[in-house]
Each structure stands twice: as C-alpha cells, then as structure tokens.
Amino acid sequence: MASLSFISTFFFVLVCSFFIAKGQLDPCFYDNICPKALPTIKAIVEDAIQQEARMGASLLRLHFHDCFVNGCDGSILLDDTPTLTGEKNAAPNKNSARGFDVIDKIKSAVNSVCYGNVVSCADIVAVAARDSVVALGGPSYRVELGRRDSLTASQAAANNSIPAPTFNFSALLSNFQSHGLSLQDLVLLSGAHTLGFARCTNFRARLYNESYTQDASLANSLKAICPPQSGNGDDNLAGLDGTPTKFDTVYFDWLLQRKGLLHSDQQLYKGDGSGSDGLVNYYSQNSGAFWEDFGGAMLRMGAMKPLTGNNGEIRMDCRKVNSY
C-alpha cells in the first residue's frame, strides 16, 4: 500500500510539473502559492448548500454561463458601472443567475487565508462548480487552475453565446461546436440539469405547445404551477428532473420518458435513433460512465479561452475591476 501511495504521489507531481513546464492551466497551481485556498472554497460551498441545496446548481450554472461568454474569465461576476455594461442583466442571466453572494464570501475568505490577492475569481467559480457537484453526490474531478480575471464583460455576447432553452437540436450542437465542444460534451454538460430548477417562463411554451413530446401526467402537474398566460407565475420553479438537488442520472431517465422540462432538454432525445439519442440511452443505463465522463467535459469547458500569464488581472473584488 505504501508503495502504491508513493507511486500515485510521484505521478501527480510529474503531472503538475508537466502543466507548469507547458505554461498551461495547472491543477496544482495553488499548492505552493496558497495551499489553504481549495479547502476554504470547499468549506464555504458546502455550508451554502447545507443552507440551501438549490445553491449547488446555481454555482454550477455560473461556471457554465461564464465560460460560454468569451471564455472562463469571471466576466459574469462584474456589476454594471457607468462605463461597463455587465452580463448579469443579459437575457439568459436576468432574474435567474445567482450565487454571487457566495462567490463574494469565498473571495473574502480566500484573500484572508492566502494573506493577499492571489486566487482569481474565475478560478473560484470553476472550483465552486466542482465542489457543488461533489456536495450533491456527484463525481469529483481535478480542476485545472491559473485563470486570471477579465477586465471587461459583454452583455451582447452573453445574449448571443449562451444556448437558449428554446433551441432545437441543430442549434444546440452548432452552439457547442462553435465553442470547440463535441456532441458528447453537449450531452454530458446538459446532464448537469440533473441539478436545479427552471422558471415557468422558460418552459411554458413547451408545456402548452408540445404535448406530443411530453409525458401527460407530468404536464398536468406542471400546469398547476405554470399558468398559460405570460406574466402570470413567470418565476414559479419546477425541477429539471425528479431529483433536482441530487447529482444522478434521473435527468437522462426523464428524457427517455418524454419528461424533459425544457424544449432544449427534450431535443437531446427524440426516440428515433437520431442526434444524441444513443448517448442519452447510454448514460441513462451507465451511471458510472456518466460519472467518469462528466468531469472530462467540465475540464474541456473550463479550458475555453482562459486568461493566463499577464493577461487580465486578479480582482480584489469579484464584482469590479481593480481600477474602478
């Protein structure tokens, strides 16, 4: 056992040395700079989820919505100023993106335990997403670190780059491919909808116009919380699957049963063998494979256009650039 432990440790050191030598994102980035950084993030995420289980999905979604807009650079965290229009009020985020207070709490705590401003907000979002998955029963994966924070944000890019719940399959696939992601990544990252809730305004059109592709019993129960009239009950919530605070494969099971809450969800499984039907079937029946593959998809998303080296900055306050 001791020899196996030594081999494992030696291999990890070699992996970290490789990343450093290549100047890439590095899973060991904070090991020497601030070894207390990651444990501190984990503790605060776990506490936030203990207080409100839904927060795990919110933190995971923050990472997704950050990365899909000009890369994983913490731009989603910036507040509006007289000279900067942030992404928080973009259509995909307004009245739905949340968890900013948790990120603020983490940033303050990390700055304290690190005796300075050394951990980027973008890295905090990435690590908090992973820790949320783990806290809700999902797989762990080694987050690559060393991102720096953006100096700006783009509401227009947020409106155009984040896939909408109304997208059909071809639009979803095209969107993911434009970010360098694959069909398998589309299915795996959509599998993050095993956690969380959606607002009535985002599933109303499917609920009342797509009876031919949805389970009648579920639809009837949803109509009780989501009236047909726009502006009535828009913010009422429904779980994206039957276990919205547990990381599992029920999301894929629900797609097979025509229970996808969002139009974009059900587009992943049409039941005719086309598109991503095969992958949805596979992950529904193989939870171990989903556990193993999900982390890889998160790493590929997390490596989208990171700012490293002298690009960007490490913000003192995640809500504003240092020069503000």
Residue numbers annotated as active site = 65
Residue tagged 């139009």 (tokens): 263
φ, ψ of residue 238 in degrees (nearest 5): -135, 145
Neighbours of 245 (CB within 10 A): 18
Cβ(120)–Cβ(52) under 8 Å?
A: no
Which residues partner with 84 through β-bridges? 81
Q: How far apart are CA 216 and CA 293, in angstroms?
A: 32
Cβ(114)–Cβ(34) under 8 Å?
A: yes
Q: How far apart are CA 79 and CA 308, in angstroms?
A: 22
Q: Which ranges of the chain would DSSP assign to H, the alpha helix?
A: 2-22, 30-33, 37-51, 55-67, 100-113, 121-135, 155-161, 169-178, 183-190, 200-209, 216-223, 250-256, 263-266, 277-285, 287-302
Residue of 162, 168, 173 lying closest to 90 (CA atoms): 162
Q: How far apart are CA 50 and CA 280, in angstroms?
A: 30
